[in-house]
Structure 1
Amino acid sequence: MSSKATITAVVLAAVVIIAAIAVVWTSGHGYDGGNTDQTEDTVTDALGRTVAIPDNLDNGIVTIGSTGPLRFASMFDVFDHIIEVDRGDITDSKNGRGYSYAFAYDSLDPSTQSHPDNALDSSTVESLVKKGPSLVITTESVWKNYSVNFGILAGQCTVVVLKDQQMQYMTDGDGGLADYFEFNVDLLGQVLKKEDRASEIISGIEEILSDLRSISGTSDQNVYIAGVTISGSNTLNTTFPVYIPFDLTGTSNAYHGSTENKVVLRVEAFTTMDIDMMIVDPSSSDKVGEADSQYLMEYVYRLNSDSDPSNDIPIYITVPIVWDSVNYDCALASSYYVAHLVHGCLTDQEVEDRIVHIFEVFYGEEHGSGVFDDMREFFDGKSSANGQEMPLLQEVVIEYDASAGEYRFAAA
């Protein structure tokens, strides 16, 4: 037999073995059929798969992937049906995830109701086959990374695949919601049999986008953005070439160059930039004490302390928008604050009212109305634990603590 034929035979044998394992698992590991009764209704998911809609959610919902599944599912008030999520959604919740303030995912038991983040390993497949959930929600990228295991799981329960969410945009060329966002909401609306809610979500967000367009415009102010948590928290000399709130409000980014998600600048390069205003995301407060942040703060402190007010760089703390990719509700919230600062529109109270409304659109009035207050409290505590005062939606100043030899943020 030729080597090519031998390889082919081995591959075919492996496929047969995997299929046999799946059969043995389901017959010998306590799988009770779970979600075998399906309606005749189907949907087409992000991979083009035809997926039967489950009759009910009595056996619960599992989300696999930190960047999308639970974020989108939370818009449909399915917390009571969630039986398992990525471990980080329990043990590392809050931060910039609006949905983790709306629903108590941190009350789930990580030992029995979680799996490794962004993964579907063999042990998780075995565990989920035993549980027999009514619905599993994942994304294109996670499926592709674990396609064999997902193939086994999809043979035993309903698995629906969402489009990957995007870091750099949430709107299309006309300013409306991007296709991937509408697709995911519409798909879950059908699968969860909540199509009216899906329409409500989309129309509500479209109205918010329209409102932002009506109060925004163009500005000659150059704004520097720092502190966003992309690939971890970042020092203040790290900036973000594409920042959704700038895109939605027509704000000029002080940085011009790369279009990567983030760029680490030499502090000397920062001093040569034309900057009229600095906006800081408080989620990187743990990096304020590091050397590069301190050098940048020293430069701004000296500018703002000299006798020439024309070169001052005011600093404002915005709503954090990234934790496990972009949280679109928080991006919209930050957009209102940016519009307020740059275009001089809205009072402070009007900004807050609109932010509360955003969370109510995303999670319903019952669960969304308290999100912003809880988020503000969380970040007050987080910043304080890192020796900083960085209250959301407020101006801060840089102070020098001579006894510690450090620059710090303090409420203005």
Structure 2
Amino acid sequence: MKKFFLLILAVIALNAKIIVDSLNRHVNVSDNIQSIVAVGPGALRLVVYLQSQNKVVGIEKKEKKFIYARPYILAHKELLKLPVIGMGGPNPRINLEAVLKLKSDVIIAGYISKQKADMITKKTGIPVIVISYGNLGTFANKKFFNSIKILGNLLNKQKRADRVIDFIKKLDRDIKSRKFKCNKKVYIGAVAFKGLHGITSTMPKFPPFEMLGVSNAVNVNAKSQIFIDKEKLFIINPDVIFIDESGLKFVKKDGLIKKLKAFRQKQIYGILPYNNYMTNIGTAYADTYYIGKVLAPEKFRDINIVEKSNEIYKFLVGKPCYNSMAKFFGGFKKLY
């Protein structure tokens, strides 16, 4: 207790504060953060959600690729001009020398261990704040909201953090209030997971389905992405199929989809990819609204999907990105 009290006094004297990150690490940081680097899955996205992209001084190489799947980059292409401070990816490899040259006040890191965070600080002298969204593909969970609050405190953006949380919770409540009974066999295919895949890539517990109260026709006990046998998909023969458009070229090349009932009955629809360097929260909700509109049009009669998508993107990342994303991927539409 005495040591902790002395630490508090030292922090006050240095015009600093203590941030408790997602790993429950107590980190001493400046009370006036002016420069940031964000590394690892999901970190830069949350910085943009908190309208602090102007403080970013370097980004990962991964952030410069496949930008149409990441609205936070699409809305702020100025970030692409910043120096590269690492390759990126899970368990990101950070170029500590490059980070030191940029004189960053803090490193915001997604999904790294306590040992790695402590090691980076030991080698650079720069505090590391670790954030998490929870499991891949999930959204609107306690870990995500906690990370928003952590960064709100770090960046003196508490009011913006509260607004982001309130906005997302409002979307959540609105969608759940429209739940409906679905008697059709519904399937999600071409789910992106550590790369792009074809129609046999699915997620049994697909979060947009779960939020709507819809079951995936592939009903197995798996929380993450899996591949199913083509024969099994043919036996299931879904009534309605949604395709993650990031994998559409693989679906077309395979040809299996043309043998399914949903193809013959013209019930195959495209959705935007939302898993890219962790969950793109805005796209996940836009997808959910569109899926609901297809399966229960009477429940979503008041929703113009383009307007709703742009409303979500404009609030979260500052610009209406739907048209650019739709031009690249195809957008919300019937595919076959």
- Normalised to the residue count of structure 1, the TM-score between the two structures is 0.72
Does residue 317 of structure 2 align to residue 354 of structure 1? no
Does structure 2 conserve the Cα–Cα contact (< 8 Å) formed by 1:97 and 1:327? yes
What is the aligned partner in structure 2 of residue 409 from structure 1?
A: none
Does structure 1 conserve the Cα–Cα contact (< 8 Å) formed by 2:257 and 2:263? no
Does residue 286 of structure 2 align to residue 333 of structure 1? yes
What is the aligned partner in structure 1 of residue 274 from structure 2?
A: 321
Letter matched to residue 395 of structure 1:
K
What is the aligned partner in structure 1 of residue 21 from structure 2?
A: 45
Partner Cα distance (1:217, 1:289) in 2? 31
Partner Cα distance (2:51, 2:72) in 1? 10
CA shift for structure 1 position 45: 1.1
Partner Cα distance (2:302, 2:239) in 1? 21
Does structure 1 conserve the Cα–Cα contact (< 8 Å) formed by 2:37 and 2:57? yes
What is the aligned partner in structure 2 of residue 78 from structure 1?
A: 52
CA shift for structure 1 position 79: 1.9
Matches within 5 A, 1:11-410: 38-58=14-34, 60-65=35-40, 67-90=41-64, 92-104=65-77, 107-109=80-82, 112-118=83-89, 121=93, 124-139=95-110, 141-144=111-114, 146-147=116-117, 149-153=119-123, 156-170=125-139, 177-290=140-253, 293-294=254-255, 296-300=256-260, 304-305=263-264, 312=265, 314-344=267-297, 345-347=299-301, 350-363=304-317, 367-368=318-319, 370-379=320-329, 391-397=330-336
Does structure 1 conserve the Cα–Cα contact (< 8 Å) formed by 2:61 and 2:87? yes
Uncovered stretches (5+) of structure 2, i.e. residues with no partner: 1-12
Q: In the TM superposition, what whole-angstrom CA distance separates every residue of 1:75-124 from its partner, at most 9, and x where no partner exists?
A: 0122221111221102x142321212221156324xx3331214565x82
- Indicate the percent of aligned positions where both proteins have the same amino acid: 20
Moved over 4 A (4+): none
Q: In the TM superposition, what whole-angstrom CA distance separates every residue of 1:178-204 from its partner, at most 9, and x where no partner exists?
A: 210111000000000010000000011
Partner Cα distance (2:266, 2:230) in 1? 16
Distance 1:145 1:352, change over 3 A: farther
Partner Cα distance (2:87, 2:14) in 1? 29
CA RMSD of aligned residues (A): 2.4
CA shift for structure 1 position 373: 1.4
CA shift for structure 1 position 232: 0.9
For these two proteins, the number of residue pairs brought into alignment is 322
Does structure 1 conserve the Cα–Cα contact (< 8 Å) formed by 2:112 and 2:130? no
Q: In the TM superposition, what whole-angstrom CA distance separates every residue of 1:358-392 from its partner, at most 9, and x where no partner exists?
A: 112312xxx23x2111111222xxxxxxxxxxx31
Q: In the TM superposition, what whole-angstrom CA distance separates every residue of 1:121-174 from its partner, at most 9, and x where no partner exists?
A: 5x82233233320121003x4244735632424x6123211135322432xxxx
Could you say which structure has the larger radius of gyration?
1
Moved more, 211-220 or 97-106: 97-106
What is the aligned partner in structure 2 of residue 15 from structure 1?
A: none
Partner Cα distance (2:38, 2:168) in 1? 23
Does structure 1 conserve the Cα–Cα contact (< 8 Å) formed by 2:202 and 2:225? yes
Does structure 1 conserve the Cα–Cα contact (< 8 Å) formed by 2:17 and 2:29? yes
Structure 2 residue matching 1:42: 3-state secondary structure: strand
Structure 2 residue matching 1:326: 3-state secondary structure: coil
Uncovered stretches (5+) of structure 1, i.e. residues with no partner: 1-36, 171-176, 306-311, 380-390, 398-412
Letter matched to residue 64 of structure 1:
V
- Normalised to the residue count of structure 2, the TM-score between the two structures is 0.87
